[in-house]
Amino acid sequence: MTDVTLSPGKAVAAVKRPTGASIGPRWSNALFVAPYLVFYVVLLVYPLFKGIWMSMLQSDMFDNTSKYAGMANYHRLFNDKIFIGTVWNTVWFVVMTVPVFVAIGLLLALALNSSDRTAAVLRAIFFGTSVLSVTIVTIIWKMMYMPGNGAIASIFKLLGLEPVAFVTSSSLALVAIAICTIWWIIGLPMMLFLAALQQIPGELYEAAALDNASRWRSFWSITLPSIRRTMLVVVIYEIVAQFQLFGQAQLLTQGGPNNASRPIVLFIYEQGFRSWNLGYAAAASEILFLIMAVAALAQFFVSRKRVEE
């Protein structure tokens, strides 16, 4: 080994010259995230702020002379019985569908969590509906719900019962849309739960079996805690997705009868594209955004707290 004597100045220079990872920010790394950031800003952040600004304008679809209206659009919205009705309809729809998505999705996943051929075929069948477009789905369900010759009416008649008018009844129209929606996209929660179930180590179940744990006990103490995070993902995803109900309502009931099945997005669409009130439609969009954010965040914090406990 050779002793090296360094002057103080040289010693400082040696410290400044690191041999491993660089210290401090390296701005060239930003290039890796730049493409994502650009699209995120252009497609999400900019429209978000543009929407907020538009909601404060009295703006017509084809008129370039929008004028500032402050909170007038929001004030009008809170006094609009139709809009208030759409908020309740949408919340009710989310309450009806999200728990069912979780419950049926999990049940299907548990039932089909096996490697045999029948389970594979059934998984494909249950997921198959998710690839259909909303137009096809609503045509199928129109045929199901038709009061005269529809499939459900025929079953009712076969049983000697009076057919129920699902889509023309103000108390059943939203339920009819919920059933159609669940049938349509139950495949995704099922797949997410299946993926989570397959991550659970088999040793846990073997240990439980050695301890003579019942199936219910295994489910409650092993399965459920293991898939809690997936359940959170499914719940938040479905809350966000179902608050955006549109196509099914537009095509099955057009929001009727008596505003009983009109969701917020259909209201926004009608105000924007039919009445050409862009400012008013934008204000309704911001309210929807707030409701969705609050609902998803509330669910996130509640679930995270439980997980931590």
Residue 170, token pair as written in the block: 């103000």
Residue type, 181: T
Q: Quote the DSSP letter at residue 60.
A: B
For the CB of residue 39, give the shortest distance to another protein in the complex, in Å. 20
- Work out how close the CB of 106 gets to another protein at its nearest, in angstroms, rounded to a whole number: 35
Query: Helix/strand/coil (H, E, C) string of 231-269?
Result: HHHHHHHHHHHHCCCCHHHHHHCCCCCCCCCCCHHHHHH
- The single residue among 154, 168, 218, 299 that binds another protein, judged by CB under 8 A, is 168
Q: Could you say whether residue 170 binds another protein (CB under 8 A)? A: yes
Residues paired with 60 in a beta bridge: 277
The distance of closest approach from Cβ of residue 252 to another protein in the complex, given in angstroms and rounded to an integer, is 8
Span of 14-22, 45-53, 77-85, 195-203 interacting with another protein by CB under 8 A: 77-85
Q: Cis omega before residue 47 (within 30°)?
A: no
Nearer to another protein, 73 or 223 (CB): 73
Site for another protein contains 277 (CB under 8 A)? yes
Nearer of residues 76 and 228 to another protein, judged by Cβ: 76
257 binds another protein (CB under 8 A): yes
Distance CA 267, CA 264 (A): 5
Estimate to the nearest angstrom the gap between the alpha carbon of 11 and the chain centroid.
Answer: 59
> Interface with another protein by CB under 8 A: which range of 126-134, 182-190, 271-279, 289-297?
271-279
CA 225/CA 240 separation, integer angstroms: 24
Given 56, 57, 77, 167, the residue binding another protein (CB under 8 A) = 167
Cα(51)–Cα(60) distance, integer angstroms:
14
Among 181, 253, 261, 285, binds another protein (CB under 8 A): 253
Sign of CA dihedral 193, 199, 204, 209: positive
- Of the pair 189, 255, the CB lying nearest another protein is at 255
- Per CB under 8 A, contacts with another protein among 51-70 are 58, 60-63
Q: Considering the complex, what minimum distance in angstroms separates the CB of residue 274 from another protein?
A: 5
CA 128, CA 20: separation in Å to the nearest integer? 52
Site string for another protein, 121-160 (x = CB under 8 A): ---------------------x---xxx------------
Q: Does 80 bind another protein (CB under 8 A)?
A: yes
Q: For tokens 């699902």, name the residue.
A: 166
Helices 187-197 and 117-128, packing angle to 10 deg? 140
Q: Please report, as ranges, the residues that interact with another protein according to CB under 8 A.
A: 58, 60-63, 76, 80-82, 142, 146-148, 165, 167-168, 170, 252-260, 269, 273-277, 280
